[in-house]
Amino acid sequence: MVHHSEKSYFRGIAWFLTSLLVCETNDVITKYLELSLSPLQVIFGRFFFSTLLLLPLMGRSVQSFKTQHLASNLLRGFILFLGMFIWCYGLEASQLSVACLINFTTPLFTLLLAMIILKEKIGKSRFMATLFGFLGVAVVLNPQTASFSVPAASLFLLSAVLFALLDILNKILVTKEGTLTSLFYTGIFTMLFSMIALMVPRFFNSNEPLSLFSEFAHRVTLLSPHHILLLALLGTGANLLLFCILKSFLYIDVSATAPFRYVELILASIFGYLFFDEAVAPNTIAGALIIIPSVIYLLRCEAKINTNLASNKIQTSTHCC
């Protein structure tokens, strides 16, 4: 007989695994669309449809449209746009498995940025986990391998830094604004920045500093019904991804998902092979064997620290009473 706690655990894990499936499906759609569309068009379309689909939920309450943190949401939208643009740029010339694996380093960068911005202390265990994690990245980014692409795989690191910075900003704002409001305004501003990136570079020559944006702006093509359908699916998937994650966290703690997070690498490798005929390189496998244990160990340390902090808070409040 399965106990209620076990049912909750299995439901939580099921929702989390579903979120990974949705995430990798989005990656496949993105990579496929970039075969015929500019990455800027893909980013704009994704956030246009994801924001459009939020409007019915926002319409239930006028308060959902009110925000006291417009500047923070603007900054968040800019960071998200820049991270997505760099990530999409790399995805064009790299494998899904490499993109997925390097994206796992985001918690490592989050830890370093938390030390710099939030003045959090890094203990010995955190330092060692971070050190080995970046050693794994060095193995993946071995330029002597045939699968290495400088403007692709190495740029995933920069996108990971931006996503980590986004995590820090979210951590600061999470208690100050509702999830739906944050999603809506972040989506609006990300869409706005992608639209600006599509339009402004047309006024610059190819030798100007914005030539990279200009290259993608001039690759803009007329959308077909097929493109619109896929972009709508991408926007739906973006919202569905968050929904699945939130449903998962209703049943289990964040730390409980850590061992299952790396199923995404398996899915990325399978989807990359099925849809794009990508074979996983030996250095990617070797890097995964270093990065994955490092991040799992780091997440376990973080979970233990958070548990101790929560326990201390409970003891203090009880003592005061």
Q: In sequence order, what DSSP letters do the residues of 196-239 get, joined into one string?
A: HHHHGGGGS-TTSTTHHHHHHHTT--PPPHHHHHHHHHHHHHHH
- Looking at residue 169, its pLDDT comes to 83
Q: Which residue has the higher pLDDT, 172 or 270?
A: 270
Alpha helices in 252-281 (DSSP H): 263-276
- Looking at residue 143, its pLDDT comes to 53
Using the 8-state DSSP alphabet, how is residue 147 labeled?
T
pLDDT tens for residues 310-320?
Answer: 444 433 333 34
pLDDT tens for residues 185-202?
Answer: 888 999 999 988 887 655
**CB neighbours of 153 closer than 8 A, spacing ≥ 6?**
90, 94, 98, 99, 102, 140, 141
| pLDDT above 90: percentage of residues in the chain | 17
Average pLDDT over residues 224-240: 93
Residue 29 and residue 230 in contact, taking contact as beta carbons nearer than 8 Å: yes
Q: Which residue has the higher pLDDT, 224 or 1?
A: 224
Instruction: Name the nearest CA neighbour of 133 among 101, 98, 162.
Output: 101
Q: For residue 201, what are its two tokens?
A: 């570079």
Report whether pLDDT(114) > 80. Answer: no
Instruction: Name the nearest CA neighbour of 238 among 15, 35, 48.
Output: 48
Report whether pLDDT(213) > 60. Answer: no
Average pLDDT over residues 199-207: 57
Instruction: List the chain domain ranges.
Output: 95-168+281-321
- Looking at residue 216, its pLDDT comes to 57
Q: Which residue has the higher pLDDT, 64 or 77?
A: 77
Give the angle 134-268-93 at the CA atoms, nearest 5°: 75
How far apart CA 47 and CA 32 sit, in angstroms, is 17
- Which of 32-41, 71-80, 143-152, 175-184 is least confident? 143-152
Average pLDDT over residues 291-301: 72
Report whether pLDDT(125) > 90. Answer: no
Residue 160 and residue 79 in contact, taking contact as beta carbons nearer than 8 Å: no
- Looking at residue 47, its pLDDT comes to 93
**CB neighbours of 262 closer than 8 A, spacing ≥ 6?**
104, 288, 292, 296
- Looking at residue 60, its pLDDT comes to 75
Give the angle 278-283-284 at the CA atoms, nearest 5°: 55
